[in-house]
């Protein structure tokens, strides 16, 4: 089937729109995650969200809605516990990581009837996203754009040097809680795409690739959005032609892009160093 013919299918158009908004959201908040070195915390929040999914299935409400609430509370809990002197940050992450997974497993087994959507939340399938999912991603993207546009400088100060930001009179604690909330909501919004197992890659790999070409915060955001969307498009095509899960295909393609860029930059740098004037 020709690629253009795929555009006639509603599910593929939904996948393209979902990929665009997910790339915007992940490109923005993912840059903060990588710069602030919050990858491990984000991984903990991701797995903790499974508790909300289990509760949603058990209570008969939207799993994404319950996952959003559970993830935000877990993010706040990690942020609060990690600031206490009697609790190390990695220990706080481990507590919420394992607690969320345990709650999710228990309540998904207790849920009445068969739970066919469970594998979709674990591994993702972007081809099954609904207009509601797209609206959720679009709303989140707009909120992130507005927040980062209004408070870009304070966010950069906090991301690179929290103590300097505090010395400038910036309410660092309030910003950190708000940004943790955005991290949790972005993770939940992308669960349909790549699932709990792989969602953290969507928040880090495009930023790692972008960081090869720039060290400026706002440029990394723009590059991450573009690289993330390219990864989604490539993953969708791989998924379609090879009949493999779309979430895994998207992450696989993003890693291929990173490897090519990393290798290309290394070769270019070695050739530059060999020039006489270097």
Specify the pLDDT at position 258: 94
116, pLDDT greater than 60: no
What confidence category does residue 247 fall into, taking pLDDT thresholds of 50, 70 and 90?
A: confident
pLDDT digits (tens, 9 = 90+) for 59-76: 888 888 899 999 999 889
Specify the pLDDT at position 117: 63
The set of residues, in sequence order, having a beta carbon less than 8 Å from that of 199 and lying 6+ positions away, is: 46, 124, 187, 190, 191, 193
Which CATH superfamily, name and number, covers 3-272? ABC transporter involved in vitamin B12 uptake, BtuC (1.10.3470.10)
Specify the pLDDT at position 42: 86
pLDDT digits (tens, 9 = 90+) for 148-173: 999 999 999 999 888 888 888 889 98
184, pLDDT greater than 90: yes
* 191 closest CA partner among 74, 55, 71, 46: 46
243, pLDDT greater than 90: no
- Dihedral Cα 96, 97, 100, 105, nearest 10 deg: -150
Q: What separation, in Å, do the N-terminal and C-terminal C-alpha atoms of the chain show?
A: 51
Helix, strand, or coil (residue 245): coil
Q: How far, in Å, CA of 166 to CA of 14, rounded?
A: 43
Q: How far, in Å, CA of 262 to CA of 277, rounded?
A: 24
Average pLDDT score, the chain: 86
47, pLDDT greater than 70: yes
Specify the pLDDT at position 3: 65
Specify the pLDDT at position 40: 86
């Amino acid at each position: 089937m020709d690629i253009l013919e795929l555009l006639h299918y509603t599910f593929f158009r939904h996948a393209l729109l979902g990929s665009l908004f997910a790339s915007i959201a992940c490109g923005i908040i993912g840059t903060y995650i990588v710069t602030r070195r919050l990858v491990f915390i984000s991984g903990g929040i991701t797995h903790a969200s499974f508790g909300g999914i289990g509760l949603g299935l058990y209570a008969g409400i939207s799993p994404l809605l319950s996952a959003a609430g559970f993830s935000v509370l877990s993010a706040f809990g990690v942020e609060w516990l990690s600031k206490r002197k009697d609790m190390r940050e990695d220990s706080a992450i481990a507590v919420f990581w394992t607690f969320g997974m345990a709650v999710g497993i228990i309540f998904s087994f207790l849920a009445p009837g068969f739970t066919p959507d469970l594998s979709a939340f674990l591994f993702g399938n972007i081809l099954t996203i609904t207009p509601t999912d797209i609206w959720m991603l679009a709303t989140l993207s707009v909120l992130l754009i507005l927040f980062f546009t209004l408070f870009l400088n304070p966010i950069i100060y906090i991301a690179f040097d929290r103590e300097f930001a505090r010395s400038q009179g910036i309410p660092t604690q309030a910003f950190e809680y708000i940004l943790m909330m955005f991290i949790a909501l972005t993770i939940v919004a992308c669960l349909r795409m790549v699932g709990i197992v792989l969602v953290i890659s969507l928040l880090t790999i495009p930023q790692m690739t972008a960081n090869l070409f720039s060290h400026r915060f706002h440029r990394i955001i723009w590059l991450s959005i573009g690289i993330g969307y390219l990864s989604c498009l490539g993953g969708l095509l791989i998924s379609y032609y090879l009949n493999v899960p779309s979430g895994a295909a998207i992450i696989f393609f993003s890693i291929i892009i990173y490897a090519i860029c990393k290798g290309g930059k290394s070769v270019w740098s070695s050739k530059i160093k060999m020039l006489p004037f270097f």
